[in-house]
Amino acid sequence: MKVPGLRSVARRRRHRDAWWVVSGVGFAIVLAFLVWPLCRVLAGSVLGEGGWLAFGETYGRVAAHRYYWSSVLNSLGLSAAATLGAVLLGTPLALALARYPIPGAVLVRTAANLALLSPPFIGAYSWVVLLGRNGLVTRWLEPLGWGVPTIYGYRGILLAFVVQYFPLVFLLVSGALAAVDQSMEDAALSLGSRPRQAFFGVILPVILPSLTAGALLVFMATMADFGTPMVLGEGLRTLPTLMYGEFINELGGNPTMASTLGSLLILINTAALMGQRYFAFRKAYHVVCLRPLQPRRPSRLRLALTSAAVYGVIALALVPAATILVSSFMPTRGPVMYLGLSLQSYATVLHLVPRAVANTFMLTGLAVALDVGLGVLLAYCLARRPSRTHAALDALIMLAYAIPGTVVGVGLILVYNHPPIVLTGTWVILLVSYFIRHLPYPVRACAAMLQQIDVRVEEASISLGVPPFRTFWRVTAPLMFPAIVSGATLAWITTIGELSSSILLYSGPWATTSVEIFTQVFSNHFGTASALASILIVAAAAPLFLMYRLLGQQAAMAP
Summarize as ranges the residues that interact with another protein (CB under 8 A): 2, 4, 7-8, 10-12, 14-15, 454, 456-457, 459-468, 475, 478-479
Which residue, 187 or 462, is less far from another protein as judged by CB? Answer: 462
Give CA separation, 483 vs 37, 196, 519, 557, in Å.
30, 39, 36, 10
* CA 334/CA 521 separation, integer angstroms: 10
Alpha-carbon dihedral 38, 509, 129, 225, rounded to 10 degrees: 0
* CA 282/CA 325 separation, integer angstroms: 45
Kindly state the smallest distance separating residue 479's Cβ from another protein, in Å. Answer: 6
Which residue, 146 or 481, is less far from another protein as judged by CB? Answer: 481
Which residue, 358 or 457, is less far from another protein as judged by CB? Answer: 457
What is 385-454 written as a DSSP string? S--HHHHHHHHHHHHHHHS-HHHHHHHHHHHHEETTEE-TTSHHHHHHHHHHHHTHHHHHHHHHHHHHS-
Which residue, 20 or 67, is less far from another protein as judged by CB? Answer: 20
Q: Residue 191: in which H helix or E strand, if any?
A: none
Which residue, 73 or 457, is less far from another protein as judged by CB? Answer: 457
Pairing of strands 332-333, 336-337: antiparallel
**Residue in 412, 422, 372 with CA at minimum distance from that of residue 500:** 412
Kindly state the smallest distance separating residue 16's Cβ from another protein, in Å. Answer: 11
Stated length of the chain: 559
Say how many C-beta atoms besides its own lie within 10 A of residue 401's C-beta.
16
In 3-state terms, what secondary structure has residue 473? helix
Kindly state the smallest distance separating residue 470's Cβ from another protein, in Å. Answer: 8
Which residue, 461 or 520, is less far from another protein as judged by CB? Answer: 461
Kindly state the smallest distance separating residue 540's Cβ from another protein, in Å. Answer: 30
**Residue in 208, 210, 220 with CA at minimum distance from that of residue 272:** 220
Kindly state the smallest distance separating residue 473's Cβ from another protein, in Å. Answer: 13
Kindly state the smallest distance separating residue 10's Cβ from another protein, in Å. Answer: 7
In whole angstroms, what separates CA 170 from the centre of its chain?
15
Kindly state the smallest distance separating residue 465's Cβ from another protein, in Å. Answer: 4
Which residue, 15 or 418, is less far from another protein as judged by CB? Answer: 15
Which residue, 303 or 376, is less far from another protein as judged by CB? Answer: 376
Q: Residue 253: in which H helix or E strand, if any?
A: none
Q: To 5 degrees, how large is the angle CA 440–CA 404–CA 282?
A: 65
Q: Phi and psi of 299, rounded to 5°? A: -65, 160
Kindly state the smallest distance separating residue 3's Cβ from another protein, in Å. Answer: 9
Which residue, 2 or 388, is less far from another protein as judged by CB? Answer: 2
Produce one character per residue of 178-206: b if its CB has 16 or more CB atoms within 10 Å, e if not. Answer: eebbeebbeebeeeebeeeebeeebbeeb
Kindly state the smallest distance separating residue 553's Cβ from another protein, in Å. Answer: 15
Q: Are 122 and 517 spatial neighbours (Cβ–Cβ below 8 Å)? A: yes
Kindly state the smallest distance separating residue 291's Cβ from another protein, in Å. Answer: 23
Kindly state the smallest distance separating residue 556's Cβ from another protein, in Å. Answer: 18
- In sequence order, what E strands does 263-389 have? 332-333, 336-337
Which residue, 463 or 507, is less far from another protein as judged by CB? Answer: 463
